């Protein structure tokens, strides 16, 4: 099958490469020529595990090409729309400029029977509007909505073996393709695209446009709510001396609740959850149903409060004045296994602390270059040792494995103040306290340093 994918960002680049991996002939199209150049050279323009490998193999097989020219889509039977729908500046609603621009560029190249497939996260009602535009242009093409649920860091895996597939199909009144109703035609084409996943037993929900659009935002709203729920419990735990991690374990054993996405900490960030819940609330208000998802405003508020909580803890640990104090910040990406700093809680905390006068030195295995471009005023270190050297406080804000596995005995030698703020509840409090640190987590009791660090015989013997 010949496929075009408009947008070569986190969603589109992965989708294009995975479609080629499945045996389709794919052209990825993006207005950003530097992305097109990088991808054409077999290099992913951002960090995503395994993406480089499948881009390279796609290029070598000849099944994957990239172009900045929308005319390259001519001749493809399926056209995916995978561009961003960012939050509008100063507003909560989604900005659909890029989605409409893709359709403008695509319309002249559509032929009867072509399938345009929306993947971007959009406000409910967008697909019906776009379908109308396609009909009015008299192209004979059909629109389907096929939301994407991939997680950054697992994008390739999630695309090749999704939890489920969702098709938003046109109503039959939208005409026929060679005598076949539009709905049946769209379904048959999508089945061909996703044949391998369907053969492997991936559940499929075939539905209408509005439901497909809503599935995506409902899923993200649910996940965000789960995180803010456990962070709300963390706040209560902070007042009562309870431990939110044990609480999450205990409620998570109930299969109806489940332990995943119950990690309390600094809250959620990234290019999806924060802006999607805001856009959903804004869309519901437009529809006169703001009351139905009013709780999402609270979910957002709780989430943002956790960032300030981390800042307050740092200020508190530094005696109320952070001026001239060195804060070592481990992590900049919004989550591990990603270089994405969009709405990153880690970066937000760094900026807030810098604003208060702290000497912030941040590090991250993959996100430093992105962070420098946006916030050159911050201090950066390319490795953990430099970040920690002579620090007054250590703050773990993104739980990369290498930070989780830090040896508290070894790093104690580097720092000035042995205080660790674990904004992700990723460390073992007892172990850090034994090594002489004061440990502070999120919604769990502080652990005070052992009077004299308990000697970890082998480690210390080797260091000495």
**Least spacing, CB of residue 89 vs ligand UDX, in Å:** 21
Q: What are φ and ψ of residue 150, in 5° steps?
A: -65, 150
CB of 266 to ligand UDX, least distance (A): 7
Considering the rule CB under 6 A, would residue 350 count as an interface residue with ligand UDX?
no
Binding to ligand UDX (CB under 6 A): which residues in 197-216? none
Quick one: which segment of 131-139, 220-228, 312-320, 349-357 binds ligand UDX (CB under 6 A)? 220-228
Sheet arrangement for strand 379-380: 379-380, 359-363, 326-330, 393-396, 419-422, 438-440
3-state secondary structure of 396: strand
Check binding of 268 to ligand UDX (CB under 6 A): yes
Marked catalytic residue, from 272, 313, 397, 442: 272
131 binds ligand UDX (CB under 6 A): no
Residues 143, 134 contacting (CB under 8 angstroms) = yes
Torsion of CA 279, 283, 288, 293, to 10 degrees: -40
Q: Does 263 bind ligand UDX (CB under 6 A)?
A: yes
The length of the chain is 464
Quote the CA–CA distance of 235 and 312 in Å, as a whole number: 14
The annotation status of 35 as a binding-site residue, yes or no, is yes
CA 76 to chain centroid: 29
Residue 274 binds ligand UDX (CB under 6 A): no
- Residue 264 marked in a binding site: yes
Tell me if 262 contacts ligand UDX by CB under 6 A. yes
Tell me: is residue 151 an annotated ligand-binding position. yes
Tell me, by CB under 6 A, how many residues bind ligand UDX: 19
Query: Is 335 annotated as belonging to a binding site?
Result: yes
Residue 409's CB is within 10 A of a number of other CB atoms, namely: 20
Nearer to ligand UDX, 223 or 293 (CB): 223
Is 431 a binding residue for ligand UDX by CB under 6 A? The answer is no
Retrieve residue 37's tokens: 């150049």
Q: Does 183 interact with ligand UDX (rule: CB under 6 A)?
A: no
- Candidates 85-93, 149-157, 164-172, 435-443: pick the segment binding ligand UDX (CB under 6 A): 149-157
Measure CA 349 to chain center. Answer: 18
In the complex, the smallest distance separating the C-beta of residue 404 from ligand UDX, rounded to whole angstroms, is: 13
Per the CB < 8 A criterion, the answer to whether 328 and 387 are in contact is: yes
Q: Which of residues 227-246 bind ligand UDX (CB under 6 A)?
A: 227
Cβ atoms of 243 and 445 within 8 Å: the answer is yes
- Is 272 one of the catalytic residues? yes
- Is residue 302 at the binding interface for ligand UDX, with CB under 6 A as the rule? no
Any known ligand binding at 261? yes
Among 28, 58, 84, 267, the residue binding ligand UDX under the rule CB under 6 A is 267
Strands 64-67 and 25-29: parallel
Of positions 25, 72, 261, 366, contacts ligand UDX by CB under 6 A: 261
**71: which DSSP letter?**
G
Q: Is 342 annotated as a binding residue?
A: yes
Question: Which tokens is 224 given?
Answer: 């965000």
310 binds ligand UDX (CB under 6 A): no
Q: Is 425 in the site for ligand UDX (CB under 6 A)?
A: no
**What's the per-residue H, E or C state across 294-354?**
CHHHHHHHHHHHHHHHHHHHHHHHCCCCCCCCEEEEECCCCCCCCCCCCCCHHHHHHHHHH
- 152, 213, 238, 243: residue in contact with ligand UDX (rule CB under 6 A): 152
Out of 128, 169, 223, 313, which residue is the one contacting ligand UDX (CB under 6 A)?
Answer: 223
CB-CB neighbours of 173 under 10 Å? 8
262 is in an annotated binding site: yes
Positions touching ligand UDX (CB under 6 A) are: 149-152, 220, 223, 227, 261-263, 265, 267-270, 272-273, 334-335
Residues identified as active-site: 272
């Amino acid at each position: 099958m010949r496929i075009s994918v408009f947008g070569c960002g986190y969603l589109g680049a992965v989708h294009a490469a995975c479609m080629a991996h499945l045996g389709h002939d794919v052209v990825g199209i993006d207005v950003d020529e530097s992305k097109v150049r990088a991808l054409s050279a077999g290099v992913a323009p951002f960090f995503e595990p395994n993406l480089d490998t499948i881009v390279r193999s796609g290029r070598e097989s000849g099944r994957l090409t990239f172009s900045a020219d929308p005319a390259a889509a001519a001749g493809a039977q399926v056209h995916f729309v995978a561009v961003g729908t960012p939050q509008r500046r100063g507003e909560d609603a989604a900005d659909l400029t890029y989605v409409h621009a893709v359709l403008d560029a695509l319309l002249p190249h559509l032929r009867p029977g072509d399938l345009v497939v929306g993947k971007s996260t959009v406000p409910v009602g967008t697909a019906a509007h776009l379908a109308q535009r396609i009909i009015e242009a008299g192209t004979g093409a059909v629109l389907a909505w096929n939301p994407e649920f991939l997680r950054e860091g697992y994008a390739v895996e999630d695309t090749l073996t999704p939890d489920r597939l969702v098709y938003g199909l046109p109503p039959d009144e939208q005409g026929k393709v060679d005598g076949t109703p539009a709905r049946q035609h769209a379904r048959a084409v999508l089945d061909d695209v996703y044949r391998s996943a369907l053969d492997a037993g991936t559940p499929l929900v075939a539905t209408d446009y509005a439901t497909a659009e809503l599935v995506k935002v409902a899923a993200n709203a649910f996940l965000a709510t789960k995180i803010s729920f456990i962070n709300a419990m963390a706040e209560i735990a902070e007042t009562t001396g309870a431990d939110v991690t044990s609480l999450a374990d205990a409620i998570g054993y109930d299969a109806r609740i489940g332990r995943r996405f119950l990690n309390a900490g600094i809250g959620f960030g990234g290019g999806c959850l924060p802006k999607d819940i805001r856009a959903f609330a804004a869309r519901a208000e437009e529809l006169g149903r703001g009351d139905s998802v009013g709780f999402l405003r609270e979910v957002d508020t709780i989430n943002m409060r956790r960032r300030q909580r981390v800042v307050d803890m740092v200020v508190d640990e530094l005696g109320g004045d952070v001026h001239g104090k060195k804060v070592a910040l481990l992590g900049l990406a919004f989550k591990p296994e990603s270089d994405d700093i969009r709405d990153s809680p880690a970066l937000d905390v760094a900026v807030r602390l810098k604003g208060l006068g702290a000497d912030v030195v941040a590090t991250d295995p993959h996100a430093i270059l992105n962070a420098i471009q946006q916030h050159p005023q911050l201090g950066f270190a390319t490795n953990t040792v430099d970040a920690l050297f002579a620090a007054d406080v250590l703050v773990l804000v993104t739980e990369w494995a290498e930070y989780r596995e830090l040896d508290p005995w070894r790093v104690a030698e580097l720092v000035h103040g042995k205080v660790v703020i674990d904004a992700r509840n990723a460390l073992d409090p007892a172990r850090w306290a034994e090594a002489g640190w004061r440990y502070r987590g999120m919604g769990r009791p502080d652990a005070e340093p052992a009077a004299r660090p308990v000697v970890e015989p082998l480690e210390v013997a080797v260091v000495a």
